[in-house]
Amino acid sequence: MLWDALFLQLGYNATLVVIGATLLGVSAGVTGTFLFLRKRALVSDAISHATLPGVCIAFMAMVALGGDGRNLVGLLAGSAVSAWVGLLCLNWLTRNTRLAEDAAIGAVLSVFFGFGVVLLTVIQTMGSGRQAGLEGFLLGSTAGMLWADALVIAIGGAGTLALILLMRRPMTLVAFDPEYAAARGLPVDRIDLAMMGLVMAVTVVGLKIVGLILIVALLIIPPVTARFWTERSDRVVLLSGIAGGLAGYLGAALSASAPNLPTGPIIVLVSFAFFALSLFLAPGRGVLAAILRHMRFQRRVHLRQGLLALAQGQPIYEKLTLRLLRRAGLVRADGVATDTGKARAAKALRDEKRWEIVRTDLAHEAAAALYDGLRDIETVLTRDQIADIDRRIGGPQGIPS
């Protein structure tokens, strides 16, 4: 069944869910990148929790007008208004009070969500609203998704992506250096508000699939995953969109192939799986790469210390050092240095003396700052500078530099 779900062969409803989740993942990943770069990840949590009162009020209003209250467009419109009010409250608190942003986020999140839970309880006592299914907006509910629902999600996601393409340059500049952006004449506050508005749009669109509690994960995990693989912001945006789209596609397919599994939480878990793989396997910033770098550094330290010990006629007791020296062809099995080893040892000792001169000479202050005990002096100084240092040291001048 998983194979059928991956190739959209599991039925009409399952196909709609997979397509909608994929589009949501792409838009959430791209939008969340700017939130992540701006270091305001928790703002999305406040916005998502602020949608609940709007959903409930919209439901009650539609019921009061004679409807059944379950029109998705009406519910999303209510959640958008509520989220926007929550965002304005958050901005007002951070600008006009002494509250730090995290405290303001906590206040808005808890008050709006608490008010929403109270409204949910009231709805359960309404004759026409009993068991309305609004709790599905907490964790997402894709059962019975209609073509109109998928169309709303698709249009919302596509519109968000289009706005991001138009605003990506100023949003990137504000995310990295708001002071410089302000000096360039950009309206930083308005761009921040627009960025939060895009996050709000994605949050509202994603309520049906992942719910208001889990949408924050889909906004933040893909950008964090993408950050492990590149240093460039444009590539982070691209990889984040791909990671979010794949998480939505695979998570929805897994959920469709096993009907008892909820779609939203599965999508989040798949997104976390991508994050875990990136954490361990990314070539530049992953854990495995860091371990390999540390091991290479240790080998260089052992070789350097072994060469200095050979040059000074000191015994080498460390087995790892001897093994590395033998593997490099610098000592024989009995621990005696080879001709190559003697030359390398003399060069290492000479370099140590050269570095001593460099570190005590103010004329070489910039070069001295690069000393780490392992760097070859030839990568820092010119041949003429090294020759001048050798003359100051005295002794044999024939040692290769």
Q: How far apart are CA 71 and CA 6, in angstroms?
A: 29
Q: What is the rounded CA–CA span in Å between residue 33 and residue 393?
A: 55
Is residue 34 scored above 60 in pLDDT?
A: yes
Q: Is 236 exposed, middle or buried (0-12, 13-18, 19+ CB in 10 A)?
A: buried
Q: Give the Cα separation of 140 and 212 in Å (integer).
A: 8
Please state, in angstroms and rounded to a whole number, the distance separating the CA atoms of residues 401 and 397: 9
Report residue 331: phi and psi, to 5°. Answer: -135, 155
Q: What is the pLDDT of residues 107-121, one digit of tens each?
A: 998 999 999 989 888
Q: Is the Cβ–Cβ distance between 145 and 17 less than 8 Å? A: yes
Can you name the residues that pair with 337 across neighbouring β-strands?
331
Fold of 2-264: ABC transporter involved in vitamin B12 uptake, BtuC (1.10.3470)
Can you give the pLDDT at residue 143? Answer: 57
The one-letter amino acid code at 13 reads: N
Q: Considering the entire predicted model, what is its pTM? A: 0.81
Per residue in 299-311, pLDDT (tens digit) is 999 999 999 999 9
pLDDT tens per residue, range 46-68: 888 899 999 899 988 888 887 77
pLDDT in tens, 281-333: 999 899 999 999 999 999 999 999 999 999 998 888 888 999 999 999 999 98
Lowest mean pLDDT among 29-33, 75-79, 131-135: 131-135
At 76, the pLDDT band (50, 70, 90 cuts) reads confident
Q: What is the pLDDT of residues 149-198, one digit of tens each?
A: 777 777 877 888 888 888 888 999 998 888 988 999 889 888 988 888 88
| Domain residue ranges of the chain, discontinuous segments joined by + | 2-264, 288-393
Distance between first and last Cα of the chain: 67
CA distance 269 to 210: 11
Tokens 């370099």 correspond to what residue?
Answer: 351
Higher pLDDT, 270 or 102: 270
Per-residue pLDDT, averaged over 358-381, amounts to 88
